[in-house]
Amino acid sequence: MNSQQFNSQILALSDKMFRLAKSILRSSEAAEDAVQELSMRLWEKRNKLDVVENVQAFTLRAMRNLCLDTLRQQHDEDELPAEMEFVEPNPHQQVEQSDLAARVREMIDRLPELQRTIIRMRDVEGMELSEIALITSLTENAVSVNLSRARQKIREKIIYEQKRVEETVWKR
């Protein structure tokens, strides 16, 4: 792969790589570092990339693996990624819908890593199940099952919270 092909095929994916990295690492800074690191690694291996059938899937899978390695390293060092904290919305300034959106984002953050990654790729990034399957090295059926389980967990948590709020209101 020459430099022009690298620019048009790999560097053109920088935004997707960044969004994927940020969804896994939950830090803009760490995501930028990951994009730069992967871009350098791919540049060094560019002569071997000609045999790759789906460059986008290969690149995004490599990004996912790099991010997971980064998380494992951070876990081993007992460090949390920068910007990992969640800021609670002010209910007096937020409408009910934005409050719900914030709670859903928090629920997604608490999902197991694979389900969190899949739900973000599908519902935030708008990726097809086949693309997600290629990136995660799962079958489309496994992706669908994980997506369904993630959505079900979120639904159950929302229903539980709503019932708790209603019980509190009725006790007054």
Q: Over the stretch 115-133, which tens digit does the pLDDT of each residue have?
A: 999 999 998 888 999 999 9
Model confidence at 110, pLDDT cuts 50, 70, 90, reads very high
Residue 94 pLDDT exceeds 60: no
CATH 1.10.10.10 in the chain, residue ranges: 87-172
CATH 1.10.1740 in the chain, residue ranges: 1-85
Domain 87-172 falls in which CATH fold? Arc Repressor Mutant, subunit A (1.10.10)
With contact defined as beta carbons under 8 Å apart, do 80 and 74 qualify?
A: yes
In the chain, % helix, strand, coil (3-state, to 5) comes to 75, 0, 25
Mean pLDDT of 74-79: 63
pTM of the model: 0.53
Residue spans of alpha helices (H) in the chain: 3-9, 14-25, 28-44, 55-76, 96-109, 113-119, 129-136, 140-171
Q: How would CATH label the architecture of 1-85?
A: Orthogonal Bundle (1.10)
